[in-house]
Structure 1
């Protein structure tokens, strides 16, 4: 057992003994070489109590060295532990990051699931609404079908009535068509008669205008020629004059008197008036019949002489081409017979 000092004794000893204090300083300053060199002299000079104290101090120093070594080792182990702890912390942080990422992915998955659930719920609601709308549409379709059936019945009745009315209308149209056709025919006939009447009136007005002019010219004709025409134009007055010219028997008399004026009397003025009277009379005779009866011969200078159609004047050659036409003849169209031959010269 070593010396055991209480605190008060140790304090008192330190206050009284300089050697102890020096020893403690040496121990504190950690100078073993000096201490070991001085150990023998110190121990020789120390009292047993101090020697015991010194031994205690030496033991304390060794304990301190031991604990310093232990502390250094502990610090090293602590540093290793700290590094291990930091590695563990890093691993823990990585694990936490992975866990947080997993949690985030889980949250995202949960969010996606919630979104999918919401979409599914929305789809279910849409399906429910669609089903409701389908049911409403089915009801509306049934109502529409009912109305369509009713409309079809109405249309069928109207169709029957329409067919009946169409038949009546077709009959009426047929009657109207017949009446219209008849009316058109009557209108055409009326228009034709109207045109014919207008043409006849125009022709009559023109003809009687021409007849009046010829009547006035006839009044200036020489009495010699009037006397020759007394058998056909005997009665006075314009109406009697026109009636006389429209007679068939008047034509040859007029032609003969015209030949007298042209060929014998050499009266060109009288011959021109009488030739106009003859042509006017021929037109009146033809107009009084359904078809023309007489036509004036087509004869001109340069035509070859034809004994059956032409009569030569005195002093003319007996053959050759016509050099002058004094008076054209005329012929009967229906028989082809020449009534009077043309007066010509070769």
Structure 2
């Protein structure tokens, strides 16, 4: 049976890479303290995907072609500069970005990049974002979880938020391994390593990113940076189904903000379909965020390209709307 037809162009933008030698340069003690699974654990999700994460060439391109994907926007996955001391993280992030840029340059019509930032040194993170945008034409940055237990509404991150707004590039808020205190309280004492999986892709990651976005709204941070654009994955990290309740339980007389939570989300937050390939979550996203704020993604290699292809190709939507979801919204937001 022939594969379902796709639009003429398909862009995906939560697609990951990782260079094992860079990961190994992050001290083992720092990785263990942060909760990253050991690379020696054969059941680790990172271990299982390590080879695919490191490959930015023939195999990745073949799998893209088979799934009708024209362009991937690549971002660093796994432990990195956010685990290094402030004096060490800038050089590490710079090297990672330069190596990513070199890989992209070998296939400039197929790949773009999001910057990896030294988040433990916020002024340097702002400078590295600007450097990668101006030198490598990166389209924004991917941030993985909290930094030393702090969300982006913490005052020290103001230089990065201001620079992203000034550059006109989005910050992609991706989840990270929860802090140790959260892991202990919420995810301990479960059998078969299920606590680890529940804390991450099973549920915890999505709750964390939703909280991250809501903190940026409730703290007034997004009012300070009204032109800043955020990206979040996994069909909105549960926010579409919680948006009306958030408005109801935290109305304007409580938040003391000029916009409702839902309005701020629609004004400044874009969501991708990464890793979520069923119709009900999309229906909720369309009804709350609206089509203009939704961008197709896969979450490769943590999700294979084929289910994403089948999901997109099977949508009963007008061709013009499919095109917006598949590439036009991404082209506009990221200026591809």
TM-score (norm 2): 0.22
More contact order relative to length (CA 8 Å, sep ≥ 6) = 2
Larger gyration radius, structure 1 or structure 2: 1
Higher fraction of strand: 2
Higher fraction of helix: 1
TM-score (norm 1): 0.22
